Each structure stands twice: as C-alpha cells, then as structure tokens.
C-alpha cells in the first residue's frame, strides 16, 4: 500500500493516485449463452417479436448507478463537471457515479452490491470479470447501443462478447500486451530490442550488472493481477494456448480439451525464475505498482499494456521516462521454434461497460452509453482524453479523427501518439489473429477458466522458492483440471 511519503519520482501518494487510473487486464473474452434482450432503449434486441416498452418519463426514473474504475483525477473531473451534468441537462436522467478504486477493489465492491441484491446499472471491466454474472442471466444485452456506436465511430477493433446476434458489452477501449524498455539505457549499454526470450534475459543481465542505477526487468509476481496477464501473454508467445485449453476439433469448435504442455510451461516458469534475479521484489509488483516503479526509474524493461506508463510519465512531468521509453512487440520463444505466426493471441482484450438486468434504471443506463459513445465522433473521441495511452480506442474511426488527434497530450508528447498508432497498426495487425483456432470466444468454459487466478500464482510460487518450476507446473495443471471440470459442470461443453 502506498503511503503519503514522496515516491521515488517525487510524487506523493495522493498525486500518484490522481495520475494512475485503476485497471486490470484479463485474458481472452468470450463465452456462450446469456440473459436479457436489448434494442438500445430497453426493448428486446434479439431479433424476436417482443412488444416495445413505453419510453419511461425521465423524472420518474431513479438515478443511473455507475460503478467504474475510470477514475483518475482527470476522469473524475470529466465525469462530474462535464459528461454527467450535460447528459442530465439534455435528457432529464439523473446519475450516481461510484469509483471502484485500484485493481482488485472493483471486483470486491461489485460482489458486495450483487450479493446485497442492489447491482449497479453499469459496471466497467473486462467481460471475463462478469462472466459468472452473465451466466446467471444478470446482464442485459446492449446490441442496439453498440450498433448505434459503430454507426458513428466505426467498427469495433476487438469484438465485444457477442452470441447469437446479441452483444453484452459496450466497449470503451482495448488492451494490447507490449514490451516497454528504456531507450537511453539501451543506448548507453549498446543493447537492441529483444526478439526472443533469450535476448530479453541477456539484456536484463547486462543492465543489472552494469554501473547504472537501474534493475534489468520488472517482473510481476503478486498472486493475482498483472502476474496472471504476464504469464498468459508470454505463454501465448511460445505458441501455446495462454489458458491451457484448445478446441478438441478446431473445425467443429464444440468441445474444449486441456492443452497445458509440460515442456513449454516448465520452460516458461524457469524463464520467470531467471528473470526474477534481475528484478526488484516481484511480489511487490502489480498493475499500479509496476507503473509507479517504472516511472520511478527502478527498472529498464517490463511487460505492460499499450503505452500506458509512458502517458502517465508525461502527465507527471517525469521527462526522462516519458521521452526515453520505447514500445515494441513482446519477444517470442526462439528455442521452441515459435515465431510471429505461432502466437496464440486472437485479438486484444476489450474493456468497457456492462448493463445489469437487476439495476434500477436499465433504460437510462443504455441511453447514457448511447449518448457517451454513439452521439457524435467528437464525444466518442473525447472519452479517451483522460487516459490517452491506457487504451487503444475501441472503434476504427476514432484514432484518426480530428478530435482524437488534437488531444493536448499529443501536442506535448507527439511520440506517444506515434507509439499508440504503432501498437494498433503494427503490433495488433501483425501479432494477433495469426492462429485461427486461438479464437476460444464461443466457449463459456474458456471464460470461466480464464478468470481463475492460479496462473499468476504459479509465478509467485516459483519466484518465492515455494515450489520448483516442475512442482509449480504440476500444481497449476491440477488447478486447471479442477477449474475445467467446474466450468463443464456449470456450462457444459
């Protein structure tokens, strides 16, 4: 937990929390089944013949309850001083926004509300974080909302979960796994961007053993959070399913089987064990702390999302980091023969808004989301100004729009926009979707398994010497088998 002392970059805890929004990237999104229908206004949108419901009187509606982790200082000012008051003025619909805090707190707060029978109308997260609630028919489809948004902002860059023509998330942005490195450190030590795991390890060793006051790599080793994503994304770059599942028949795509190959997984855990030698204490690194410590200059290489830390460094005035951070694709496992064409990542992870069928103002929630993202391209683009490097815009026409290109952050840091364009146009284009069978998005079991935390815990077990890589693999395989059986019992398939 951060305290009020100055951090290594000179920021206080309050200043830090004002700059870094909450966030946790999860794994692949997608599953089957679902709950209520939607036509964008609260009516059925599943293609049936349901009788449209009358438009409610806004003055008789309760406030739309929003639970969101889009909550840094810039977001809070935008929500409270601009977006929500303007929406209320134009529609008469009141809102009640609740900020869910750092990664981990959001899930706990949502669970508390749901268990109390008082879910929010809107919750912000990746889909896998609400997959259990979707399976219990607790979510509303938002098909009509998404159709309207795409008509204004362009096609979704990464598909929100859709099944039988119904869509269950209004995507805000997408997360792409990327490799971050200090170009100034590389230049001083004569290093090149690693293309393989082995080259990354060698870079980490050279940096760590140099006279420079910086560690070679920042490895996430907490039991949950970033370690989960780091494990899964690196495993995908070995040419292996990141969650240990694959289609028994890739053509039929009806049944999943466990595929958690011992050689590759043990090798990956050995890789993390070796990498931990050149890292600050991995058990102290999660999503927020990895940004904090990187900006504080503690290490020169790390796995992260899009170019999120770079933007925060610029906003915080940490110029040496903001102007010297490079963003590149993650390396692949050369010794195992895996290349770009073998990466098991189908598409980046969408993060956005879900509407709860048990909320007190479902029609108002859908109207708000339509207004935010589907009213004008300028407003849609403006939804990314508060954290310009955290997400890739979710919709195809946003990044190139005049409104998006004119953000003040890009004026101060034009290289950050170039990096984000590189992420979209090169990393996403070249490193995702190369293995068609990696699309597990039609399986509820895959989503259920994805959201289990044992993957990251395997890294923790190894870097804390609680288990050897072989023992951690066997432990993880047992957890995977248990979770798959639970998922099959619950969802079938």
Q: Are residues 465 and 482 in the same domain?
A: yes
Is the pLDDT reported for residue 174 higher than 80?
A: yes
Q: Which domain holds residue 283?
A: 13-22+177-346+434-491
Same domain, 185 and 145: no
Whether 394 shows a pLDDT value over 70: the answer reads yes
**222 and 183 housed in the same domain:** yes
Q: How many domains does the chain have?
A: 2
Measured CA to CA, the distance from residue 371 to residue 88 in angstroms comes to 11
Q: Say yes or no: 146 and 290 in one domain.
A: no
- Residue 215 and residue 311 in one domain: yes
| Residues 249 and 337 placed together within one structural domain of the fold | yes
In a domain, 182, yes or no: yes
Give the separation between CA 97 and CA 77, rounded to whole angstroms: 12
Which of 388, 406, 424 marks a domain boundary? 406
In eight-state DSSP terms, residue 60 is G
Do 94 and 109 belong to one domain? yes
Spatial separation of the C-alpha atoms in residues 57 and 77, rounded to whole Å: 28
pTM across the whole model: 0.85
Determine how many CB atoms are found less than 10 A away from the CB of residue 92.
Answer: 13
pLDDT at 437 over 80: yes
Structure tokens at 116: 């109390």
Q: Is residue 201 part of a domain?
A: yes
- What pLDDT is recorded for position 55? 64
Q: What is the CATH number of the domain that holds 451?
A: 3.40.190.10
pLDDT value of position 21: 42
Residues with Cβ within 8 Å of 482's Cβ and at least 6 positions away in sequence, in order, are none
Smallest CA-to-CA distance from 316 within 336, 291, 349 is with: 291
Let me know whether 327 and 442 are in one domain.
Answer: yes
The length of the chain is 493
For residue 127, tell me if it sits in a domain. yes
What is residue 34's predicted lDDT score, i.e. its pLDDT?
Answer: 29
Query: For residue 487, what are its two tokens?
Result: 């998922």
Say if residue 166 is in the same domain as residue 101: yes
Residue 6 lies in a domain: no
**What's the rounded Cα separation, in Å, for the pair 451 and 235?**
16
Sorted by sequence, the CB contacts under 8 Å of residue 218 that are 6+ apart come out as 279, 280, 285, 290, 293, 294, 298, 299, 301, 302
pLDDT exceeds cutoff 50 at 405: yes
- Domain shared by 315 and 454, yes or no: yes
Q: Answer whether residue 418 is part of any domain.
A: no
């Amino acid at each position: 937990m951060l305290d009020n002392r100055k951090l290594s970059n000179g920021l206080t805890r309050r200043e830090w929390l004002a700059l870094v929004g909450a966030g946790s990237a999860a794994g692949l999104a997608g599953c089957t089944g679902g709950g209520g229908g939607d036509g964008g206004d609260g009516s059925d949108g599943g293609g049936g013949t349901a009788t449209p419901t009358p438009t409610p009187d806004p003055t008789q509606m309760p406030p739309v309850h929003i639970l969101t982790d889009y909550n840094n200082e810039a977001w809070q000012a935008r929500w409270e001083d601009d977006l929500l008051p303007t929406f209320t003025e134009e529609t008469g619909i009141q809102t009640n926004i609740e900020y869910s805090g750092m990664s981990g707190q959001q899930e706990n707060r949502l669970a508390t509300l749901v268990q109390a029978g008082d879910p929010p109308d809107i919750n912000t997260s990746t889909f896998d974080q609400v997959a259990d609630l979707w399976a219990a028919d607790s979510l509303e489809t938002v098909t009509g909302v998404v159709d309207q948004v795409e008509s204004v902002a362009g096609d979704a860059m990464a598909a929100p979960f859709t099944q039988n023509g119904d869509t269950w998330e209004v995507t805000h942005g997408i997360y792409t796994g990327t490799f971050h490195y200090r170009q100034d450190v590389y230049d001083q030590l004569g290093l090149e961007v690693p293309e393989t795991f082995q080259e990354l390890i060698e870079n980490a060793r050279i940096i760590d053993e140099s006279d420079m006051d910086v560690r070679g790599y920042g490895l996430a080793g907490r039991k949950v959070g970033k370690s989960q994503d780091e494990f899964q994304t690196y495993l995908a770059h070995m040419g292996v399913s990141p969650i240990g599942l694959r289609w028994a028949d890739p053509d039929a795509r009806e049944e999943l089987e466990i595929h958690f190959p011992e050689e590759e997984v043990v090798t990956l855990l050995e890789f993390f064990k070796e990498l931990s030698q050149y890292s600050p204490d991995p058990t102290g690194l999660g999503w927020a702390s990895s940004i904090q410590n990187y900006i504080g200059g503690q290490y020169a290489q790390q796995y992260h999302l899009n170019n999120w830390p770079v933007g925060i460094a610029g906003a915080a005035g940490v110029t040496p980091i903001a102007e010297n951070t490079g963003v590149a694709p993650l390396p692949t496992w050369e010794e195992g023969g895996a290349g770009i064409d073998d990466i098991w990542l189908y598409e980046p992870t969408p993060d956005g808004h879900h509407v709860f069928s048990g909320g007190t103002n479902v029609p108002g929630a859908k109207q708000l989301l339509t207004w935010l993202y589907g009213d004008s391209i300028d407003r849609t683009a403006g939804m990314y100004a508060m954290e310009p490097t955290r997400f890739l815009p979710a919709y195809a026409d946003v990044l190139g729009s005049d409104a998006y290109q004119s953000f003040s952050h890009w004026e101060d840091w034009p290289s950050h926009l170039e990096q984000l364009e590189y992420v979209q146009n090169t990393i996403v284009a070249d490193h995702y979707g190369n293995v068609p069978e990696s699309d597990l998005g039609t399986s509820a079991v895959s989503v259920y398994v994805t959201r289990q935390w044992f993957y990251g815990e395997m890294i923790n077990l190894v870097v804390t010497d609680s288990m050897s890589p072989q023992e951690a693999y066997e432990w993880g395989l047992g957890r995977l088998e248990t979770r798959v059986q639970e998922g099959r019992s619950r969802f079938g398939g």
